[in-house]
Structure 1
């Protein structure tokens, strides 16, 4: 890039550093940013930082089609897809970026955040082990991982709690199928003249239904107290 081109991008970079993403976009619109890969990247980055995720995807994708694989553009593309909740597309873009810059800490952390949201905590930990430990982005992402591990541990403790074992049929067959099955059984008992038994089953089912409503909240409270939350 020539010196005049560097000077032309300096104001946009300044606004980005100051968090004035709208001003950065306005600055880039003053010239043909599509003609340069760096200005295209800066525009896609500003759009993503300005929470215009869909526009960031379009800008980054257009830049990649025009200039070919480019790690910064792929990084923005992956993170914008992540913001949109499109985790497989985010993973693909970030993997492509890491092929070009395998040791880039920001890329490793961006991919780790995708893995955290996908529940792939061990994979996220492995990615963070490759990132620069002292980098602020690494520390922030590691904090996210620790919170995700704590939440995952809480969920597993709740699911394995003895007080929730009676709810296994609901979890296995689903509440609607279980309800229908019990109602059919009650109806059949009445048809065969076993009304007292059908009434007893109805009362037992009502008590079971109440238990299914209150037990999860009680177990969650007990587990959180034990974990010190």
Structure 2
């Protein structure tokens, strides 16, 4: 029996506007005979994934696969759930099983590429996402995976370029805007980073991670945070190591008279970095 079309259509519509809990509520009205249908199961997995309830999404996919047999979409969700649980080898086998059924499935290829990138298999990840791009170069998941693979390979500039292309082709996609914001932040470009996260929040106000990132970038853009940009760009450890190397280097080359004021400046910088950010965060949050 096919699940009632209006219920499935409502669940799909709720997912598209970022209301996964309402999608689950709609699916809960299905007759018992239709609950495990493949379309209903795919929508249920997608809703649970949006809510971050990956163990439940995996169980839903596994139960539906047992009922309906091999299904690329359900195998995709099961693999993602296993990956989230840290079971990379299981996730890989599930993805291979899915690709055996549907070798050109874009979602499966991208999921496999993402898994490989996370495991440091960057060449393999690049080949997989290239295969996905050959099937559907404009797909949102293809853009997102290309960004992740480029970033995992240390190609921040390339990741930003792909993110900009992603936003240009999918301007209302919150993931596209959030990725552009994240990559821009990594490159120390605070204003574009804030703009990206701000647009992500506008497109999906329910995602708290987008809101927190936008708040952090707005704080980073405050004039009082300008002296701390090196920490935001390179990280506290690299800045600390550079300062220590400079101070000791000046002493080693016989310039202690310069090492002393540099040391004092570094101490003042450290105090500034401890005191100012909490005050700015409180001020920005109050006006947020």
Which TM-score band (shorter chain)?
Answer: 0.5 to 0.7
Instruction: Report runs of 4+ in structure 1 exceeding 6 Å deviation.
Output: none
Residue 148 (1) aligns with residue 149 (2): no
Matches within 5 A, 1:137-176: 137-150=141-154
Gaps of 5+ in 2: 156-236, 246-288
Q: Which has the higher contact order (CA 8 A, sep 6+)?
A: 1
Contact 2:27 / 2:35 at 8 angstroms: preserved in 1?
no
Structure 2 match to 1:10: 9
Q: CA RMSD in A?
A: 2.7
Q: Greater Rg, structure 1 or structure 2?
A: 1
How high is the TM-score relative to the length of structure 1? Answer: 0.62
Matches within 5 A, 1:5-154: 5-31=4-30, 32=32, 33-132=34-133, 133-150=137-154
Partner of 2:120, secondary structure, is coil
Contact 2:48 / 2:56 at 8 angstroms: preserved in 1?
yes
Partner Cα separation in structure 2 for residue 13 and residue 90 of structure 1: 26
Structure 2 match to 1:164: none
Structure 2 match to 1:209: none
Q: Give how far 1:21 is off.
A: 0.5
Q: Give how far 1:218 is off.
A: 4.0
Structure 2 match to 1:183: none
Q: Give how far 1:85 is off.
A: 2.0
> Structure 1 stretch 35-44 or stretch 51-60: which is displaced more?
35-44
Partner Cα separation in structure 1 for residue 28 and residue 132 of structure 2: 35
Paired residues, number: 159
Partner Cα separation in structure 1 for residue 45 and residue 13 of structure 2: 16
How high is the TM-score relative to the length of structure 2? Answer: 0.50
